[in-house]
Chain A
Amino acid sequence: MKKVKKIKIKVNGKVKTLQYRTKLSKLVENLNIPIKKVAIEVNQEIADKKKLNKIILKNNDKIEIVHFIGGG
């Protein structure tokens, strides 16, 4: 049986194992992220929210998903 290749990435500092060639749009969808209320970085580069389906995640990618919280 063919073994399905997996990748490991970090999302907000937490390790996640994903299918090989998972798109960033898919990850965001699976995490149930309200896309209009966040910003996303891939390896410290801001990802264009309109083109998340064009970004294919690679092993060891570091994703940061941020939003606004209370602050002074």
Chain B
Amino acid sequence: MVNLNKDKFKVANKSFKSRLIVGTGKYNNMSQCAKAIKLSGADIVTVAVRRVNINDKRKPLLMDFIDPKKITYLPNTAGCFNSEEALRTLRLAREIGGWKLVKLEVLGDKKNLFPEMIETLKSTEILSKEGFEVMVYCNDDPLMAKRLENAGACAIMPLAAPIGSGLGIQNKINIKIIRKQTKLPLIIDAGLGQASDATIAMELGCDGVLVNTAIAKAKKPFDMALAFKNAVIAGRQSYLSGRIEKTLMGNASSPKKGTI
């Protein structure tokens, strides 16, 4: 039997129990976000770096709802459209409390939110040299994935489909090729719409998935958080169990012998 308790998810030499990473954006409020994360079982959550509201000091802080001592914060660079902005954001994130494990995300287009890979590659190189452990949001191009690996990325995070689109994995072949070529953690980031999308990602051999909108904007976010938790576990178990070969024709499940 596959012992899932021993099947740890490793990123940058740290082990995590859950292979589901959850984004903390788009929830109705912070308590809803915190409850969904708890139900999802995620050990890692992505967070954004933004200005403190200096006029409204009573505004609740994320850290008051999600304890960074219990859950790993993964600062991201959402909203950055060039290397300079991304580097500035992550250097600030590190300063907040020593975060070195970060998610790099440099966008290239405001409508489709596809990653700007030239800037992403440049930023990965610089950040790695500065001692960051960089998990990199990228397109599903195996050649670019290889370049990111060579530039020092600690995890490759190709999109399934445009961020927030809910379209699910559009290019399974590329994800499989990336899986075959890299030993780095491979995490599907962005574009998932329902729990089964996460199962497919895991069955393709991905090490994890990152989900935000599909949970936060589901009609019942708590139930969807739980569904994604189970879907990731099911997908991982299925992948490790070794699926049957596909055949064009049918193979009867009942023996012929003893047919009346």
Contact = CB atoms under 8 A, between A and B. Distances in A.
Say whether A associates with B. yes
Given A12-B51, A34-B61, A37-B61, A68 B96 contact: yes
A31 B23 CA distance: 29
Interface residues of B, dominant DSSP: mixed
Contacts of A70: 23-27, 30, 33, 47-48, 62
Nearest to A27: B54
B27, B73, B95 pick with most chain A CB within 10 angstroms: B95
B92 A69 contact: no
A49 interface: yes
Nearest to A31: B54
B95 A49 contact: yes
A68 to B, nearest CB: 4
Interface residues of A, number: 26
Contacts of A34: 61
Interface residues of B, number: 37
Contacts of A71: 23-25, 46-48, 50, 76, 78
A72 B51 contact: no
A38 B48 contact: no
B22 to A, nearest CB: 9
Contacts of B91: 46
A13, A37, A69 pick with most chain B CB within 10 angstroms: A69
Given A71-B23, A71-B78, A65 B54 contact: yes
Nearest to A16: B54
B92 A41 contact: yes
A8 B60 CA distance: 29
Contact of B51 (A13, A32, A37, A46): A13
13 contacts: A32-B57, A38-B96, A41-B92, A46-B91, A49-B95, A65-B51, A67-B63, A68-B49, A69-B24, A69-B47, A70-B27, A71-B25, A72-B23
Interface of A: 11-14, 31-34, 36-41, 44, 46, 49, 64-72
